[in-house]
Amino acid sequence: MCGGPGGPAVNAVRLALGTLTAVPVAAPASVDRRTAGRAMLLAPVVGLVLGLPLAVAAVLLDDLLAPPVLAALVVSALALLTRGLHLDGLADTADGLGSGRSGAEALAVMRRSDIGPFGVVTLVLVLLLQVTALAACLARGDGALVLLLALVVSRGLLPLAAVPALPAARADGLGATVAGTVSRRSAVLVALGLALLVIATALVDGRQGMTLVLLAVVPALALALRCRTRFGGVTGDVYGAVVETGFTAALVIASGA
């Protein structure tokens, strides 16, 4: 009955789509740590689900709009399709790290409803980089392919950040449900899958430098490790920051490939 209504597999799909996108899906019948782990393993697939309609739209509008305008529209549409949750997490994480505080005090800063100066600056810079890098790829003709790759790779970082080495920073919230739910073996398999995807994309695109997109893993996981040191672990906001950092890094690297 694993795949039946309300079964573990169905709950994992609902949790992944409901958490990572604005796609209207029924809430999971129940959520435990096993379901959360499965949902994280589905994150790269969710990246593909997000990327396909955006990539198709980019191809169809390529001759009608200038690359910078099209890139800005794609990035805006992505924010809508994800309810801006990852961007919100990035801003909150930036405020927490920029507060100069640690542990519970930093977490309290992140929980505030307003956005601080570090969050504002980080959002502006990240969105500027995303639009500029994607525009460069659109101008040379492989923007849709790069967009798909960046979305899958960035979402593929979620299971890598949900390993036992990165515990939850607090006892409640999404971080507490997800942290440590992905085994090291599963994380390694995801990493290998991402590597194969990047290599295959480089072969299709004809740009060997595209393989360097794998380096997007470095700043994203470095951020997660930094948060573990400062906050005592990771939170839902940190997961959002990991996604946006990986997505931005992938686009920037691909634009220079």
pLDDT above 70 covers what percent of the chain? 98
13 located within any domain: no
Cα gap 234→228, rounded to integer Å? 6
Whether 75 maps to a domain, the answer reads yes
**243 half-sphere exposure, CB direction, 13 A CA radius:** 32
Q: Which whole number is the average pLDDT over 118-146?
A: 97
Instruction: Print the domain residue range for 192.
Output: 40-255
pLDDT at 192: 97
What sign does the CA torsion over 232, 16, 245, 119 have? Answer: negative
Q: Which position has the higher pLDDT, 53 or 101?
A: 53
The mean pLDDT of 54-81, rounded to a whole number, is 97
Whether 126 maps to a domain, the answer reads: yes
Is 176's pLDDT higher than 60? yes
Higher pLDDT, 16 or 173: 16
Report if residue 4 sits inside a domain: no
At residue 174, the pLDDT reads 85
Task: Look at the pTM and tell me if it is higher than 0.85.
Answer: yes
159 occurs within a structural domain: yes
Average pLDDT over residues 1-24: 80
Per-residue pLDDT for 113 more than 90? no
Q: In 3D, which of 50, 42, 47 has the Cα closest to residue 8?
A: 42
Q: What is the pLDDT of residues 186-219, one digit of tens each?
A: 999 999 999 999 999 999 988 888 899 999 999 9
Identify the band that residue 5 occupies on the pLDDT scale cut at 50, 70 and 90.
Answer: low
Does position 2 have pLDDT exceeding 80, yes or no?
Answer: no
Residue % of the chain over a pLDDT of 90: 82
Tell me the pLDDT of the chain averaged across its residues: 93
- Check pLDDT > 90 for residue 85: yes
Q: Cα separation of 46 and 69, whole Å?
A: 25
Separation of alpha carbons 213 and 203, rounded Å: 13
Identify whether 134 is part of a domain: yes
**pLDDT tops 90 at residue 166:** yes
Q: What angle separates helix 236-255 from helix 117-140, to the nearest 10 degrees? A: 30
> Measured at the alpha carbon of residue 82, what is the angle toward residues 229 and 189, in degrees to the nearest 5?
60
Q: How many helices (H) and strands (E) does the chain have?
A: 12, 0
3: pLDDT strictly greater than 50? no
pLDDT at 206: 87
CA distance linking residue 67 with residue 16, whole number of Å: 31
Predicted pLDDT of residue 1: 33
Write out pLDDT tens, residues 26-65: 888 888 899 999 999 999 999 999 999 999 999 999 999 9
Structural domain count, the chain: 1
202 domain residue, yes or no:
yes
Higher pLDDT, 21 or 257: 21
- Residues 214-237 pLDDT 10s: 999 999 999 999 999 999 999 999
For residue 239, tell me if it sits in a domain.
yes
